[in-house]
Amino acid sequence: MIRLTALLAVASAMLSAQPYDLLIKGGHVIDPKNNINAVMDVAIAQGKIARVAAAIPAAEAKKLVQAGGLYVTPGLIDIHVHVYPRPGMPGLDRDSNVQADAFSFRSGVTTVVDAGTSGVKTFPAFRKQVIEKAQTRVLALLNIVAAGMGTGQEDDPKQLDAEAAAAMAKANRDVIVGFKSAHYAGPGWESVEKAVAAGKAVDMPVMIDFGYLNQVRNLSTLLLDKLRAGDIYTHCYSGHREELLEGGKVNPAMIAARKRGVFFDVGHGAGSFYWYVAEPAMKQGFMPDSISTDLHTGSMNAGMKDMANTMSKILNLGSPLHEVVAMSTWNPARQIKRPELGHLSVGAEADLAVLRVDKGSYGFIDSAGASYAGAQNIVCELTLRKGRVAWDRNGRAAADWKKFPYQKKAWRK
């Protein structure tokens, strides 16, 4: 009895000496919010960041992940995706939305923001069917069009109800982070103005996919008169709305808008990122504030690929890696006013990405199908969501099969 008591005491002491559930050791940590850009260890306990420091003893953790030669970042935040599959919905010719969990973790993404797929009429179903079931954190920009995106009703003034949109956002503040105006081809500024009115009512940002220019609508008026500081202009390298003027110069309205606090988002998509716009713009110092994919079936199978591929393009166009990480973590977290996300502060939910940056010769494709030669390629090795492994490309967090505690069962009827 005495021996058993002693063994139990030793076991208890060993457990108490392991306060961490998981330790990511030896990785180069990039945490823009906390100005960390150095080799450090990251300890996780009970789904939270417990400690970020150099040389945390491996014996203090129940599980160890060696991350030497890799980069450890906050979980990536993709603020422009379409993850509300709607097959058979009336008014849809086709549905190009995808399942969030099928595409997020493998690219290091732990949080996505659906950019306007749903409006006030369809958001309740989106919340129930997708948001509440996904392992990925799914947030939403509510379309100012009540029926949502792609329903053929985006130019109908009757669909533009700022009060109803604001009320829906207020009732769902836990997951709605702003509003979206997109693809509008009506006569004036109705869609933009209604979206901004909703944003003002509940103190949330608006993301603008500007749609089409005409004699009334132009980029300068949009950026300097219609949008507020904190609003987001997506597809900033599309070239469709005179983002780049003749002679390859960045539109002065974009530079002036940035000074007054408008954010510029990549929103790659299937038709909104072109080398002939992005390269000269970035050479002139016009970098994006945030990197996003505009994920849907048309973009993922074309030039965009995924979040890591999109980040690689910005990296190869000249942004340093720590800035690319900021554009994919802390910057978008601030844009959607979610300061609890996008960093590795102690106590924060343990959403992390472990990235590999390969050096060599790589080809990247824009929305037109044109290639660009790059020397660096970002690959996601490991993704953690709430401290649990959600994606492990090379088994870095897994036990060797010879030591794995298999539960062997006979399958008989």
Q: Would you state the pLDDT for residue 186?
A: 86
Number of CB atoms found within 10 A of residue 2's CB: 6
Q: What does the alpha-carbon distance between residue 256 and residue 123 come to, in Å, rounded to a whole number? A: 35
Contact status, residue 16 vs residue 47, Cβ threshold 8 Å: no
Partnered with residue 382 across adjacent β-strands are: 354, 392
Better pLDDT: 173 or 187: 173
What is the arithmetic mean of pLDDT over 168-183?
Answer: 97
pLDDT at 5 over 60: no
- pLDDT tens string 350-402: 999 999 999 999 999 999 999 999 999 999 999 999 999 999 999 999 999 99
Partnered with residue 49 across adjacent β-strands are: 44
Task: Give the whole-number percent of the chain exceeding pLDDT 90.
Answer: 86
* Helices (runs of H) and strands (runs of E) counted in the chain: 11, 17
Q: Give me the torsion for CA of 276, 282, 284, 286, rounded to 10°.
A: 120
The pTM (predicted TM-score) of the whole model is: 0.94
Task: Give the whole-number percent of the chain exceeding pLDDT 70.
Answer: 95
- pLDDT tens string 82-98: 999 987 676 666 778 99
Q: Would you state the pLDDT for residue 93?
A: 61
What is the arithmetic mean of pLDDT over 13-24?
Answer: 81
| Residue 14, Cβ density class (10 Å: 0-12 exposed, 13-18 middle, ≥19 buried) | exposed
How does residue 141 score in pLDDT terms, banded at 50, 70 and 90? very high
Q: What does the alpha-carbon distance between residue 291 and residue 276 come to, in Å, rounded to a whole number? A: 18
Average pLDDT, the chain: 94
Q: Would you state the pLDDT for residue 11?
A: 47
How does residue 220 score in pLDDT terms, banded at 50, 70 and 90? very high
What is the arithmetic mean of pLDDT over 342-354?
Answer: 98
pLDDT at 10 over 60: no
Contact status, residue 345 vs residue 34, Cβ threshold 8 Å: yes
Helices (H), 356-398: none
What is the arithmetic mean of pLDDT over 74-83?
Answer: 98
Collapsing DSSP to helix, strand or coil, 363 comes out as: strand
Spans of all domains in the chain: 76-346
Cβ contacts of 278 within 8 Å, gap of 6 or more: 237, 313, 317, 366
**Nearest by Cα to 289 from 355, 333, 351:** 333
Please report, for residues 147, 222, 300, the alpha-carbon distance to residue 190 in angstroms, rounded to integers and kept in the order given. Answer: 16, 12, 31
Please report, for residues 36, 131, 255, 386, 391, the alpha-carbon distance to residue 352 in angstroms, rounded to integers and kept in the order given. Answer: 14, 20, 33, 9, 11
Q: What does the alpha-carbon distance between residue 219 and residue 133 come to, in Å, rounded to a whole number? A: 39
Specify the CATH class of 76-346 in words.
alpha beta
Q: Which amino acid is at 402?
A: K
